[in-house]
Amino acid sequence: MSDPRPGLKPIPITRPWMDEREAEAARRPIARGWVTQGPEVAAFEGEFAAYVGAPHACAVSNCTNALHLALLAVGVSPGDEVITVSHSFIATASSIRYCGATPVFVDIEPGTFNMDPAGIEKAISPRTRAVLAVHQVGMPCDFERILAVAARHGLPVIEDAACAVGSEILWDGAWQRIGRPHGAIACFSFHPRKLLTTGDGGMLTTASAAYDAKFRTGRQHGMSVPDTVRHAAARVIFEAYPEVGFNYRLTDIQAAVGREQLKKLPEVVARRRRLAARYRELLAGVEGLLLPAEPEWARSNWQSFGVRLPAHCNQAAVMQALLDQGIATRRGIMCAHREAAYPPGTWRSAGPLSESEAAQDRSILLPLFHELTEADQDRVAHALAGSVG
For the annotated catalytic residues, the residue numbers are: 194
**Distance (Å, rounded) from C-alpha 287 to C-alpha 285?**
6
Residue 23, judged by CB atoms within 10 A of its CB (0-12, 13-18, 19+), counts as: exposed
CB 381 within 8 A of CB 322: no
Q: Minimal CA–CA distance to 140: which of 118, 101, 112?
A: 112
**Distance (Å, rounded) from C-alpha 21 to C-alpha 10?**
26
Q: How many CB atoms lie within 10 A of CB 160?
A: 28
Question: What backbone phi and psi angles, to 5 degrees, belong to 134?
Answer: -105, 135
**Helical segments of 62-119, H only:** 63-73, 90-98
**Distance (Å, rounded) from C-alpha 175 to C-alpha 167?**
10
CB 212 within 8 A of CB 58: yes
Task: Cite the beta strand spans of the chain per DSSP E.
Answer: 56-60, 81-84, 102-105, 108-109, 114-115, 128-134, 157-160, 168-171, 174-177, 185-189, 202-206, 298-299, 305-308, 330-331, 348-349, 363-366
Cβ-proximal residues to 245 (8 Å cutoff; 6+ apart), any chain: 217, 218, 219, 220, 221, 222, 223
